[in-house]
């Protein structure tokens, strides 16, 4: 009898404990969900980020949001504050003020939790030449609290993704620069991150290496990973990203779809070829014509930037002929990302 | 409370991982192998040479131990420089993944792990050195001749090693170049401090706060006149003799203060 | 008359003999016992240490037993203690009756090494080597430090490293 009652009591205790455990798990899950819901599907959110190094202000209140699944380019000239933003975002630096969130989790308050969603490649990290990818990835696998079997599986998978499958047990000292970069991206991919942050991923690579890394990023895009990619190379961003944030001098200048930048600027650029190279006076005359915002002349070719209206283009042509310019070709084109970038920077009085 | 406990547990595990990774790196760089070979060679010199040349070994086990362990100081400095000289500075110099690769691993745990790995590596080499000497004593003089003094010498050498490693770790945390920090760590213990010590003795100030002043205590347990450091110090030796208990305090001071300072500076440097 | 003369001569001889017996010990005592036939027989009979296995810096009492084996009393002798032929102290004004012995002690802070300790008698600033006794004493060097202090120190270091990590973790956890 006593035994039965004891057993019963134990069962009650056990079920209570179990109940508590379930509650706890649900509570934790709810917390995570709440975090995510509260951030409206933003993978990355940066608010008023300021970073000062003594007298120099590297970031002057940067704010932006990156939606889940987006591939966003973070574009700006060298020294614009790209790497600083990324280092802040990955808690490698502490901000002067402002906040940053990964999946709704404050990076500066709970970096361990926030960074558990992130894989990152920042600058060009030095590798331990005397180790093999297997040893390096095994260590990081443990850091991400993976079990031995999972680590083995993930290493194979990651090395296949970055095309280094046959190099698992070779020392890194034998690797080319491109292979090292791919391995670094592999490291970032190891924890199966929801968000991948890449800082200048093709910097210092030869054309072959650039092609390989670009291909790799395109493949990752298909896996619906949110990618935040910084670069000072327009081509890089335009070929891999859907959206672009323009950063200049520590400030966000513009943020939109790449197509929209290009689309908005259709018919803004006119390329004119003259019979002879333009003299100084002719250049002056050309700049003063109606509807022309800006002229760039190189030899006998001029690039004219005007407003959006198509009628202006006809007016510009007729004015040019009226003023005696020997026009031999006249074509209106779509302003590309580069033109937009240059015009933005010029507006701010900077140099690329 | 659970949150705090989880963080503590997680950091302890991260420290363990960092220590393990650093040991792997020392092994792959062949540094452990080099240091172990050096320890075996140094511990065998006073046994092999007299045996080969047939000139007779030291009369007593104490004299033999004193002769043999005279290299402990040198071994600690070389191993310390090998294992801790560039442990932080190299990461910053090469901008390695440790500095640039964001993981859930707390950087403080990484730096503590690095310090522990340096201590463990140097300790392993030192232990091998004492083990070989103990084996030689056992073989030549008998097991009973391995005295308490031998144990004291070993324990004191571990303390001295902790102080030396902390000093080198500190240099590694503040200096930018890996070679500079390694060389400064090595020469400060090998030359700069012993020279300062001798100069102080010359002007009749006891250099009680210099770590190398207590280096000679490692062999003084075997009953010899107290000596310290390297260099031509005999002229001034008679004036001062390092006190064992002051030595303990100085070692503790060097170890703990320089470890904490090194850790603080490494953490601050990462955030710059 | 003849017997009277002989008796007188006999009486004189006896007187001289008596006088000589009376004077000799005093003279011999003053001369420091030199002279084999009439000299006082005084010497250091025994040399002992309070601790036969002393350690460096231990205070050792050296006991020297001096015996007067002669038949007359002696006085004003000095007992000198030597370690490796260097004087470390003395006891002066020693006076002993015939056949009497006495023990004199002196303290010495032992120095590490093997030493030859001796005690010798001196009279009128003159050493009497035949009166000395010597003994070898081995002084072990004082053990440097102790195991427990070393273990405690190492424990403190281990604790410092653990606590540093622990405090940092707690501080960080509380900040979140």
Could you report the per-residue pLDDT of A95-106, keeping only the tens digit for each? 999 999 999 999
- Does the pLDDT value for residue B23 go beyond 90? yes
- For B221-227, what is the mean pLDDT? 63
- For A32-51, what is the mean pLDDT? 74
- Does the pLDDT value for residue A337 go beyond 80? no
Give the pLDDT band (50/70/90) at residue B227. Answer: very low
- Does the pLDDT value for residue B195 go beyond 90? yes
- Does the pLDDT value for residue B144 go beyond 70? yes
- pLDDT score of C6: 67
Give the pLDDT band (50/70/90) at residue B156. Answer: very high
Flag whether residue C173 sits within 8 Å of chain A, measured between CB atoms. Answer: no
What residue of B is the nearest CA neighbor of C159?
B256
A249: left (phi over 0), alpha (psi -120 to 50) or beta: left
- Does the pLDDT value for residue A279 go beyond 90? no
- Does the pLDDT value for residue B246 go beyond 90? yes
CA–CA min distance C163, chain A (Å): 21
The CATH number of the domain covering residues in A42-261: 3.40.50.300
- Does the pLDDT value for residue C28 go beyond 50? no
Q: Which residue did the predictor score with more confidence, A260 or B81?
A: B81
For B162, the enclosing helix (H) or strand (E) is helix B148-174
Q: Where are the domains of chain C?
A: 9-139, 145-176
- pLDDT score of B230: 46
In 3-state terms chain C splits into helix, strand, coil percentages (rounded to 5) of: 35, 45, 25
Flag whether residue B3 sits within 8 Å of chain A, measured between CB atoms. Answer: no
- Tell me the β-bridge partners of A256: A244
- For A267-296, what is the mean pLDDT? 81
Q: pTM for this structure?
A: 0.73
- pLDDT score of C34: 40
| A215-258 pLDDT tens trace | 888 888 888 789 999 988 777 788 888 889 988 888 888 888 87
The closest of B161, B194, B176 to B82, measured between CA atoms, is B161
CA–CA min distance A110, chain C (Å): 6
Q: Which two tokens stand for residue A130?
A: 């005397």
Q: Which two tokens stand for residue B223?
A: 């009953």
Helix/strand/coil (H/E/C) assignment for every residue in C143-168: CCCCHHHHHHHHHHHHHHHHHHHHHH
Q: Do B96 and A94 touch (CB under 8 A)?
A: no
Contact of C76 with C66, CB cutoff 8 Å: no
Give the pLDDT band (50/70/90) at residue C90. Answer: very high
Q: Which residue did the predictor score with more confidence, B78 or A211?
A: B78
Chain C contact set for A105 (CB, 8 A): none
Q: What is the mean pLDDT of chain C?
A: 82
- For A74-97, what is the mean pLDDT? 88
Give the pLDDT band (50/70/90) at residue A138. Answer: very high
CA–CA min distance A40, chain B (Å): 24
CA–CA min distance C153, chain B (Å): 7
In 3-state terms chain B splits into helix, strand, coil percentages (rounded to 5) of: 80, 0, 20
Chain A contact set for C175 (CB, 8 A): 109
Flag whether residue A35 sits within 8 Å of chain C, measured between CB atoms. Answer: no
Q: Which residue did the predictor score with more confidence, A137 or A242?
A: A137
DSSP state of A59: E
- Does the pLDDT value for residue A35 go beyond 60? no
- Does the pLDDT value for residue A149 go beyond 90? yes
Q: Residue C98 and residue C100: Cα distance in Å, rounded?
A: 5
- Does the pLDDT value for residue A206 go beyond 90? no
Flag whether residue C158 sits within 8 Å of chain B, measured between CB atoms. Answer: no
Q: Which of A198-202, A342-346, B148-152 has the lowest mean pLDDT?
A: A342-346
Chain C contact set for A109 (CB, 8 A): 175-176
Give the pLDDT band (50/70/90) at residue A3. Answer: very low
- pLDDT score of A271: 84
Between helices B31-53 and B72-84, what is the axis angle to 10°?
A: 160
Give the pLDDT band (50/70/90) at residue C91. Answer: very high
- Residue in A113, A115, A136 nearest the CB of B103: A115
Flag whether residue B33 sits within 8 Å of chain A, measured between CB atoms. Answer: no
CA–CA min distance A138, chain B (Å): 10
What are the φ/ψ torsions at residue C60 (nearest 5 degrees)? -110, 140
- Does the pLDDT value for residue A11 go beyond 60? no
- For C9-26, what is the mean pLDDT? 61
- For B2-31, what is the mean pLDDT? 92
The 3-state DSSP class for residue A324 equals: coil
- Does the pLDDT value for residue B226 go beyond 50? no
Chain A contact set for B117 (CB, 8 A): none
The CATH number of the domain covering residues in A267-333: 3.30.70.2470
Q: Where are the domains of chain A?
A: 1-38, 42-261, 267-333
CATH class name, domain C9-139: mainly beta
Q: Which residue did the predictor score with more confidence, C79 or C15?
A: C79
- Does the pLDDT value for residue A338 go beyond 60? yes
For C65, residues 6+ apart whose C-beta sits below 8 A from its C-beta are C44, C45, C46, C47, C48, C101, C102, C103, C104
Flag whether residue A110 sits within 8 Å of chain C, measured between CB atoms. Answer: yes
Flag whether residue C157 sits within 8 Å of chain B, measured between CB atoms. Answer: yes
Q: Which of A339-343, C1-5, C128-132 has the lowest mean pLDDT?
A: C1-5
Q: Which residue did the predictor score with more confidence, C89 or B233?
A: C89
Angle (CA) A225 A227 A232, round 5°: 160
- For B191-209, what is the mean pLDDT? 92
Express as a percent the part of chain C with pLDDT over 70: 78
- Work out the burial of residue A329: count CB atoms within 10 Å of its CB; fewer than 13 is exposed, 13-18 middle, 19 or more buried: exposed
CA–CA min distance B11, chain A (Å): 11
- pLDDT score of B180: 94
- pLDDT score of B240: 80
Neighbours of chain A (3+ CB pairs under 8 A): B, C
Q: Which residue out of A110, A113, A115, A116 would a mutagenesis test of the C interface target, given it has the greatest number of C Cβ atoms within 10 Å?
A: A110
Flag whether residue B158 sits within 8 Å of chain C, measured between CB atoms. Answer: yes
- Residue in A111, A131, A187 nearest the CB of B101: A187
């Amino acid at each position: 009898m006593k035994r039965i009652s004891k057993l019963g009591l134990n069962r009650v205790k056990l079920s209570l404990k179990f109940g508590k455990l379930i509650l706890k798990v649900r509570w934790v899950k709810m917390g995570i969900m709440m975090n995510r819901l509260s951030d409206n599907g933003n993978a990355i959110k940066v608010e008023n980020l300021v970073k000062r190094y003594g007298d120099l202000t590297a970031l002057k209140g940067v704010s932006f949001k990156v939606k889940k699944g987006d591939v966003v380019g973070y574009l700006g000239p060298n020294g614009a504050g790209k790497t600083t933003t990324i280092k802040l975002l990955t808690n490698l630096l502490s901000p002067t003020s402002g906040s940053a969130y990964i999946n709704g989790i404050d990076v500066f308050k709970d970096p361990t939790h926030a960074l558990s969603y992130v894989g990152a490649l920042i600058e060009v990290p030095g590798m331990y030449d005397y180790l093999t990818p297997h040893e390096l990835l095994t260590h990081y696998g443990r850091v991400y609290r993976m079990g031995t079997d999972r680590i083995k599986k993930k290493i194979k998978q990651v090395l296949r993704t970055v095309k280094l499958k046959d190099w698992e047990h070779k020392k890194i000292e034998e690797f080319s620069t491109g292979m090292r970069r791919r391995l670094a991206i592999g490291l970032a991919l190891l924890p199966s991150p929801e968000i991948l942050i890449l800082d200048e991923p093709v910097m210092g690579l030869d054309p072959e290496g650039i092609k390989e890394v670009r291909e790799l990023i395109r493949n990752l895009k298909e896996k619906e990973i949110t990618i935040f990619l910084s670069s000072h190379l327009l081509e890089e961003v335009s070929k891999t990203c859907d959206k672009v944030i323009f950063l200049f001098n520590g400030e966000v200048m513009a943020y939109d779809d790449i197509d929209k930048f290009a689309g908005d600027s259709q018919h803004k650029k006119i390329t004119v070829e003259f019979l002879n190279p333009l003299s100084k006076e002719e250049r002056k005359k050309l700049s003063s014509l109606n509807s022309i915002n800006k002229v760039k002349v190189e030899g006998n070719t001029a690039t004219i930037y005007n407003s959006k209206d198509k009628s202006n283009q006809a007016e510009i042509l007729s004015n040019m002929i009226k003023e005696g310019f020997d026009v031999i070709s006249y074509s209106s084109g779509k302003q590309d990302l580069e033109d937009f970038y240059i015009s933005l920077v010029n507006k701010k009085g900077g140099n690329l | 409370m659970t949150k705090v406990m989880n963080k503590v547990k997680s950091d302890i595990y991260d420290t363990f991982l960092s220590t393990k990774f650093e040991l792997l790196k020392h092994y792959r760089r062949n540094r452990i192998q080099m240091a172990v070979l050096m320890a075996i060679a140094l511990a065998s010199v006073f046994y092999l040479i007299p045996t080969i040349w047939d000139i007779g070994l030291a009369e007593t086990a104490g004299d033999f131990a004193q002769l043999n362990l005279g290299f402990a100081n040198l071994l600690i400095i070389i191993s310390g420089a090998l294992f801790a000289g560039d442990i932080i500075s190299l990461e910053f110099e090469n901008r390695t993944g440790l500095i640039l690769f964001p993981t859930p691993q707390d950087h403080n745990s990484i730096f503590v792990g690095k310090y522990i790995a340096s201590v463990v590596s140097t300790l392993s080499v030192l232990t091998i050195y004492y083990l070989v000497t103990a084996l030689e004593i056992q073989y030549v003089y008998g097991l009973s001749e391995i005295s308490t003094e031998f144990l004291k010498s070993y324990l004191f050498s571990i303390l001295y090693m902790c102080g030396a490693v902390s000093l080198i770790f500190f240099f590694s945390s503040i200096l930018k170049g890996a070679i500079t920090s390694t060389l400064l760590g090595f020469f400060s213990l090998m030359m700069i401090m012993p020279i300062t010590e001798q100069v102080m003795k010359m002007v009749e100030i006891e250099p009680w706060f210099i770590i190398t002043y207590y280096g000679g205590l490692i062999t003084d347990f075997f009953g010899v006149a107290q000596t310290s450091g390297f260099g031509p110090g005999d002229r001034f030796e008679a004036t001062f003799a390092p006190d064992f208990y002051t030595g303990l305090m100085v070692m503790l001071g060097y170890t703990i203060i320089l470890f904490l300072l090194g850790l603080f500076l490494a953490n601050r440097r990462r955030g710059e | 008359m003849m017997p009277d003369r002989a008796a007188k001569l006999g009486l004189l001889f006896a007187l001289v003999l008596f006088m000589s017996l009376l004077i000799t010990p005093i003279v011999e005592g003053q001369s420091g016992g030199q002279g084999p036939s009439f000299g006082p027989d005084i010497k250091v009979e025994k040399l002992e240490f309070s601790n036969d296995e002393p350690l460096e810096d231990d205070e050792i009492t050296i006991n020297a037993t001096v015996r007067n084996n002669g038949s007359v009393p002696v006085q004003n002798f000095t007992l000198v203690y030597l370690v490796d032929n260097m004087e470390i102290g003395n006891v002066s004004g020693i006076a002993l009756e015939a056949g009497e012995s006495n023990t004199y002690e002196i303290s010495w802070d032992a120095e590490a090494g093997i030493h030859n300790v001796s005690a010798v008698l001196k009279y009128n600033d003159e050493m009497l080597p035949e009166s000395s006794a010597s003994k070898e004493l081995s002084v072990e060097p004082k053990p440097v430090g102790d195991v427990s202090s070393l273990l405690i120190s190492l424990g403190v270091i281990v604790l410092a490293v653990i606590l540093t990590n622990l405090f940092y973790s707690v501080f960080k956890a509380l900040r979140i």
